Structure 1
Amino acid sequence: MATDKITVRGAGIFGLSIAWVLRQRGANVQVIDPNGVAAGASGGIVGALAPHVPENWNPKKQFQLESLLMAEGFWREVQDVSGMSPGYARNGRVQPVANVAALDLARARAETANDLWGDAATWVVRNIQDQNWCAPSVMGVEIYDSLSGRIHPKQSCIALAAALAARGVPVLADGPDTSITIHATGVAGLEALNANHTRMVGAGIKGQAVLLDFAMPDAPQLFADTLHIIPHGDGTTAIGSTTEREYIDPYDTDGQLDDILVRVRTAIPALRDARVLARWAGLRPRSRSRAPMLGPWPDRPGHFIANGGFKIGFGMAPKVAHVMADLILEGRDTIPKGFDVAASF
């Protein structure tokens, strides 16, 4: 086990989660971020913890499944120590079935989910349960999965930082690297890697989302018209998001978000008169391989990378934290091959 102080650079979801698990396992940890907690993509508002569809199974999907199943215990412990809610709930997800072909596919996936998910979660094709809380479907049928959950992104990071502080680990604005340093620095980290390589390691992908004054805290999240609709526990509902590779201002909201509002209000009757509370835009870190980048930094002994969460960072975070702790504290490499840093280098 490492005994020297471990430095985690980055106070987003990957950095804070890794620091938390390291501290829980007895490590001496410091977190450094000049911009503070959840200053980047982790300060978003959507927070959909949604699984990949149960087909064409691969190590990435298995990793995500295991992480989603770890989430309840992970976030309960954070809440118990911090005294703050991370906004986690596993309320499931519904999505409308558009036509006969989609219905056949949904039923086939239900059988596959039974094999892959076992007793841990279900994927059910059923008649629409609430006409106001589902997009229109001429089939009158929806998919419900019990694996999906929700998290409040910024709130959960604040709760993690508070739990770390309660364990003697503050988030510092500055400080030196130590003999073991983990770089979980999101888009800025990818840009630094790009500058030192002949090909792109990763990039920031812009996303825009909107928060509505609409309370349905116990309802499942919706997936309709390619939008994630997430009722949060604080009485708000988040809608997201765009995926923009070209943009002028990464932090400005524009007509693309207006289009999302029109689409969601058309699709979901209950949201048509909901007041807009906040509009959000930011960059999310996507690696070249499209999977998280985890593991040793090539040619930099003692340095490690945890980056590339993109849209699934919060869902992946509990297991990412544990596999990084396995590697750093015990020398056990439990990182899937497609997630290793070399896959993006």
Structure 2
Amino acid sequence: MLTGGPSSTESVNRGPFLTDVAVVGGGVVGLAVAWRCAARGLRVVVHDPAPGSGASRVAAGMLSPVAEAYFGEHELTGLLAASAARWPAFAAELTEAAGTGFGYRTEGTLVVGLTGDDLAEARRLWSYQRELGLPITPLRPSELRDREPALAPRVRGGAVAPGDHQVDPRRLVTALRTAAERAGATLVTGSVRALSELDARVTVVAAGCGAAALTGLPVRPVKGQVLRLRAPDGGPPGFRHVIRGYADGEPVYLVPRDSGEVVVGATVEERADTDVTAGAVLRLLRAAVDLVPELAEYDLVEATAGLRPGTPDNAPILGPLPGRPGVLAATGHHRHGIVLTPVTADLVTELIVSGAADPLLAPFTPERFAASAGPARRRRHG
């Protein structure tokens, strides 16, 4: 049972506290937790000075348990797959609760290599992913172009991950906020400088990089620069699948939206600034155009940078804080915040309501950082 927390919905609604659940952070994770908790009959207040303005705003929205599976991250891959499996039902329920869609698309993802060396690197990762039993199928160049004629003739080969989908995170924030407020949650647009300020039985820290100052957890900022293009004449992009690939050693992803937008990203930098640099824009655009040449004719409508909440092992921090009764962490999602939103919200809400910790939480609790953590591992893929 959660120390200092409720054992049932009935018990959480009693007592001297003004609020049952205070959620610190109004990104997709915090808003999803608020929605789930409010839907269970809890009194919920979300605290954020500018909801949706953090990592959620610059995220590409790829739901990629397969393409994001990396060497040595078996437990994280399992959590990604578990959350991705919840996304279809989560999307349907949220659409009904909010009364609006948010760009949930299921065409799948193509993973491609431009050169022989790029393809060799991609194949090495596919082999690992297939060993884990993940659904990814290699394709010949002709099969790739049958699926996406817009791909460059130079592309040497690739694979399809049919279960890797996408959403539009900016629209997702709007839908989650609407659903949470309709369920009875209250949004307070103010900063929280210390958790002691909050009068709540349970506090959920979903503040992204801000969780470090509030909790002492080893959450660090990882900078990512992202571009947004728009198809000419207001039409749809000339391709349907999410495309992830390597172009002369440069990793890049291309995410087409129904609105005509294409998201191009993203750098992975161990920095804490949000400056957009010419070099990053150049590298991303060169790689994008190498894979899909028509993008050279698209409008560049936005170049932005955000900060992902990284951890020493690249995995999220979920569960009760040792020595902090009634405080839960839901942070450190790094590049996986969007795909992990359903499972995070479900597991945290169930822990609050029933006190029961799902076995999925075990590898991701804050207790794993009780001893000093080693240096963070850097990922190659952007």
Q: Normalising by the residue count of structure 1, what TM-score does the alignment of the two structures yield? A: 0.87
Amino acid at match of 1:15: G
Report what 1:171 is aligned to. 187
3-state SS in 2 of match to 1:26: coil
Contact 1:266 1:272 in 2 (8 A): no
3-state SS in 2 of match to 1:306: strand
Q: Does 1:124 align with 2:137?
A: yes
Contact 2:29 2:206 in 1 (8 A): yes
Amino acid at match of 2:105: A
Q: Does 1:209 align with 2:226?
A: yes
Of 63, 68, 71, which aligns to 2:87?
71
Amino acid at match of 1:160: L
Distance 1:131 1:75, change over 3 A: closer
What are the within-5 Å matches in structure 2 for residues 95-134 of structure 1? Answer: 95-97=111-113, 98-99=115-116, 101=120, 105=124, 108=127, 111-112=130-131, 116-117=133-134, 122-126=135-139, 127-128=143-144, 129-130=146-147, 132-134=149-151
Hey, what's the Cα distance between the residues in 1 that align with 2:152 and 2:368?
A: 39
Report what 2:60 is aligned to. 46
The range that moved more, 77-86 or 128-137, is 128-137
Of 36, 54, 69, which aligns to 1:21?
36
Amino acid at match of 1:326: E
Hey, what's the Cα distance between the residues in 2 that align with 1:111 and 1:260?
A: 28
Computed over aligned residues only, the root mean square deviation of the Cα atoms, in angstroms, reads 2.5
Report what 1:264 is aligned to. 288
Unaligned residue ranges in structure 1 (runs of 5+): 195-199
Hey, what's the Cα distance between the residues in 2 that align with 1:274 and 1:294?
A: 40
Of 208, 232, 236, which aligns to 1:186?
208
Hey, what's the Cα distance between the residues in 2 that align with 1:88 and 1:131?
A: 20
What are the within-5 Å matches in structure 2 for residues 221-300 of structure 1? Answer: 221-225=242-246, 226-246=251-271, 249-300=273-324
Cα deviations by residue, 1:260-312 (Å, 9 ceiling, x for unpaired): 11221222112111101111111111122311001112211111111101111
Amino acid at match of 2:167: I
Hey, what's the Cα distance between the residues in 2 that align with 1:284 and 1:37?
A: 16
Distance 1:321 1:142, change over 3 A: same
Report what 1:197 is aligned to. none
Unaligned residue ranges in structure 2 (runs of 5+): 1-7, 14-19, 191-196, 371-382
3-state SS in 1 of match to 2:300: strand
Q: Does 1:92 align with 2:105?
A: no
3-state SS in 1 of match to 2:328: strand
Contact 2:24 2:47 in 1 (8 A): yes
Hey, what's the Cα distance between the residues in 1 that align with 2:164 and 2:332?
A: 21
Amino acid at match of 1:203: R
Q: Does 1:327 align with 2:355?
A: no
C-alpha displacement of 1:108: 4.2
Cα deviations by residue, 1:26-80 (Å, 9 ceiling, x for unpaired): 32222111x2321211111521221234876722111110101111211221111
Amino acid at match of 1:233: D
Report what 2:373 is aligned to. none
Contact 1:206 1:250 in 2 (8 A): yes
3-state SS in 2 of match to 1:314: coil
What are the within-5 Å matches in structure 2 for residues 127-146 of structure 1? Answer: 127-128=143-144, 129-130=146-147, 132-134=149-151, 137=154, 139=156, 141-146=157-162
Distance 1:21 1:137, change over 3 A: farther
3-state SS in 2 of match to 1:46: coil
Paired-residue identity, %: 23
Hey, what's the Cα distance between the residues in 2 that align with 1:204 and 1:54?
A: 20
C-alpha displacement of 1:107: 7.0
Cα deviations by residue, 1:129-153 (Å, 9 ceiling, x for unpaired): 24643355564x3200111111111
